[in-house]
Amino acid sequence: MRVFSNVENSLGNTMKVRMVARKQFDNFFLEFQQYIAKYLKHSAVVKCNSAAWDLDIRDVQPGEAVLLMDFQMNFSHKYKGTIQLEHWACTQTTLFPCIVYLNINEQIERWAINIVSNDQLHSNAFVSHATNKVLKYIEQFTTLHHLTIWTDGCGSQFKCKRQFLKISQMNMKVRHRFFASGHGKGPSD
């Protein structure tokens, strides 16, 4: 139930404010308990994810690689001062950065490999193609026998049957990890 009330501000002016009828304390407390239970579970997952990520990039062994992959927002090709019609009809390019952690000569190195394409679908086929390109590039410098991939949980890009089929067909041990929802921001972003 909405109620209007006159409220005086710090300057002495009276304003009409819409107030929302308050719920009973018991109802509020029950809803709060349910919310806190969900939050605590999510918080525990985030802490576990963070610890696993830190361990993965800190303890990269020779012959191992850790990939962090995600699509960035498309790059729009436009010049300064474009009119509105040109703004919405401009050419775009897909940016797919891959951050690679490798152990080269007992030194952990971080490489940024950017895949640039005119493919606008952001599909798993693109992810598969980009991953192949990155792995071919890495294998110029070292032979891999173990790969850890970190991504967000987007179903059409990373968390789908095609991705798991590809992983199962690789000639090395592969582990695909997913960041908790809303917490996958990293160096690739």
pLDDT tens per residue across span 31-70:
888 889 889 998 999 999 999 999 999 999 999 999 999 9
CA distance 14 to 6: 6
pLDDT bracket for residue 78 (50, 70, 90): confident
pLDDT bracket for residue 125 (50, 70, 90): very high
pLDDT at 3 over 70: no
pLDDT at 182 (0 to 100): 78
CA distance 188 to 171: 26
pLDDT bracket for residue 109 (50, 70, 90): very high
Residue 101's nearest CA partner among 147, 70, 139 is 147
CA distance 157 to 188: 16
pLDDT at 18 (0 to 100): 65
Q: Which of 22-36, 40-54, 74-88 has the highest mean pLDDT?
A: 40-54
| Averaged pLDDT, 4-27 | 68
Q: 3-state class of 121 per DSSP?
A: coil
CA distance 148 to 121: 25
C-beta of residue 136 within 8 angstroms of C-beta of residue 174: no
| Averaged pLDDT, 165-174 | 94
pLDDT bracket for residue 143 (50, 70, 90): very high
pLDDT at 2 over 80: no
Residue 153 to residues 77, 121, 180, 185, Cα–Cα distance (Å): 29, 17, 8, 12
pLDDT at 25 (0 to 100): 62
CA distance 175 to 177: 6
Task: Provide the mean pLDDT of the chain.
Answer: 86
| Averaged pLDDT, 100-123 | 93
What is the DSSP-derived secondary structure letter of residue 94? E
pLDDT at 24 over 80: no
- Distance linking the first and last C-alpha atoms of the chain: 44
